[in-house]
């Protein structure tokens, strides 16, 4: 019988995405025989395989149909110990209703190497591809956003989600150009941005990097997904259950940090984040602050460099009321409300 360490994934997909902070995730999650863990971001199954090796069972979610498809052989080989679900991790409490109450939940936020490497997915401008960027195959694509949102909304997306200092200029250039020729390809958009703002020899990244990042986060509602998933985890975990989150972006880490400090009463309090009475805390943080990759891991896997792990243990208290204002998220447009037809 195949084991979780066997290479049962077609096209060697599990070799292409190197799991980040893997042993640190396991140390925080402490999976064990007889437990059920939800892996909210299956990807190439790197975390799932390692969790299965501990004897725990896994329900794994991914919004990308090709990630789920690639994991089906492993699911069949493990007969009952692994269940794959195609969907978004913000619905993990509904997934848990079907699969059983989890002892732990892990989220590895962002895109996989497979998604970035495949030109047809449109995440990267290194290789030309359609301007898509959807992790699932439904909803508006990056081309819809670029060609249809109002200029002011585009500028706010580039500014907030990409911290792009030329956000307004780039949005105005897009508005002008799309009137005669809409953007449909990744390289075309990247070249147009480069032609507008030029290359700064002191800045090593391509001038379109931040706009592409902002579009990806917006198209997939990545920040909204994360906030909803944290609250779903709070609802579904039993006392002693563990929540482990790995992020790669400062906006995401800020959300996770504020969630745990708000829910544990360790934040010190502020006008926006009043101190919670600790006797009401719904989580106890694991460790102090973040866990980052070792120098050896960052050297081995450059993608790991910006990774941050935060984790907490569910207390016996009921879930606290949700107050999304603590995350400091801007009111970005909701595509269907603001898009021009």
Ligand X SMILES: C[S@@+](CC[C@H](N)C(=O)[O-])C[C@H]1O[C@@H](n2cnc3c(N)ncnc32)[C@H](O)[C@@H]1O
Give the binding site for ligand X (CB under 6 A).
Answer: 17, 19, 41, 43-47, 61-64, 67, 88-89, 108, 110-112, 135, 225
For ligand X, the closer CB: 135 or 145: 135
For ligand X, the closer CB: 91 or 315: 91
Annotate 228-288 with DSSP letters as a single string: HHHHHHHHHPPTT-EEEEEE-SHHHHHHHHHHHHHHHT-S---SSSPPPPGGG-SEEESSS
Give φ, ψ of 317 to 5 degrees.
-75, 155
Q: What angle is formed at CA 153 by the lines to CA 151 and CA 158, rounded to 5 degrees?
A: 95
Cβ at position 67, least distance to ligand X in Å: 4
Q: What angle is formed at CA 266 by the lines to CA 239 and CA 320, rounded to 5 degrees?
A: 50
For ligand X, the closer CB: 89 or 212: 89
For ligand X, the closer CB: 280 or 334: 334
Please report, in angstroms and rounded to a whole number, the separation of the first and last CA atoms in the chain.
Answer: 54
User: In the block, which residue shows the tokens 């120098």?
Assistant: 295
Rounded CA-CA distance 288/310 in Å is 9
Cβ at position 235, least distance to ligand X in Å: 17
For ligand X, the closer CB: 87 or 152: 87
Cβ neighbours for 112, distance < 8 A, ≥ 6 positions apart? 17, 43, 44, 64, 67
Cβ at position 88, least distance to ligand X in Å: 4
For ligand X, the closer CB: 47 or 125: 47
Cβ at position 61, least distance to ligand X in Å: 5
Cβ at position 107, least distance to ligand X in Å: 8
Cβ at position 171, least distance to ligand X in Å: 26
Give φ, ψ of 58 to 5 degrees.
-135, 135
Q: Closest Cα partner for 10 from 87, 67, 80, 83?
A: 67
For ligand X, the closer CB: 108 or 170: 108
Rounded CA-CA distance 277/135 in Å is 39
Cβ at position 69, least distance to ligand X in Å: 12
Cβ at position 125, least distance to ligand X in Å: 19
Cβ at position 25, least distance to ligand X in Å: 8
Q: Where would I find the H helices in the chain?
A: 13-16, 22-29, 46-53, 65-77, 92-99, 113-117, 142-148, 151-162, 167-180, 186-197, 209-219, 222-236, 250-264, 295-300, 335-338
Strand order across the 283-285 sheet: 82-86, 57-62, 36-39, 104-108, 242-247, 308-314, 283-285
For ligand X, the closer CB: 142 or 281: 142
Q: Closest Cα partner for 186 from 206, 164, 160?
A: 206
For ligand X, the closer CB: 58 or 131: 58
């Amino acid at each position: 019988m195949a084991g979780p360490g066997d290479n049962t994934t077609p096209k060697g997909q599990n070799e292409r995405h190197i799991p980040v902070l893997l042993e640190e995730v396991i140390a925080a999650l402490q999976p064990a025989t007889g437990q059920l863990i939800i892996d909210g971001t299956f990807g190439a199954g790197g975390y799932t395989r390692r969790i299965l090796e501990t004897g725990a069972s896994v329900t794994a979610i991914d919004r990308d149909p090709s990630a789920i498809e690639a994991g089906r052989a492993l699911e069949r080989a493990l007969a009952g110990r692994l269940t794959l679900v195609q969907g978004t991790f913000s619905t993990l409490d509904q997934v848990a209703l079907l699969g059983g109450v989890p002892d732990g939940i892990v989220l590895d936020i962002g895109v996989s190497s497979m998604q970035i490497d495949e030109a047809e997915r449109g995440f990267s401008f290194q290789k030309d591809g359609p301007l898509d960027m959807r992790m699932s195959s439904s909803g508006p694509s990056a081309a819809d956003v670029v060609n249809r949102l109002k200029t002011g909304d585009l500028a706010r997306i580039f500014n907030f989600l990409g911290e792009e200092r030329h956000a307004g200029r780039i949005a105005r250039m897009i508005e002008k150009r799309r009137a005669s020729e809409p953007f449909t390809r990744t390289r075309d958009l990247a070249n147009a941005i480069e032609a507008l703002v030029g290359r700064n020899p002191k800045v090593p990244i391509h001038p379109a990097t931040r706009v592409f990042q902002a579009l990806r986060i917006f198209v997939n509602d990545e920040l909204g997904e994360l906030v909803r998933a944290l609250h779903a985890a709070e609802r579904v975990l039993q006392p002693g259950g563990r929540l482990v989150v790995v992020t790669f972006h400062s906006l995401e880490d800020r959300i996770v940090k504020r969630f745990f400090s708000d829910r544990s009463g360790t934040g010190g309090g502020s006008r926006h984040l009043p101190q919670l009475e600790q006797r009401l805390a719904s989580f106890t943080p694991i460790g102090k602050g973040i866990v980052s990759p070792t120098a050896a891991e960052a050297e081995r896997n450059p993608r790991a460099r910006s990774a941050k792990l935060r984790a907490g243990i569910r207390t016996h208290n009921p879930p606290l009321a949700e107050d999304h204002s603590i995350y400091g998220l801007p009111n970005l447009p909701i595509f269907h409300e603001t898009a021009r037809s």
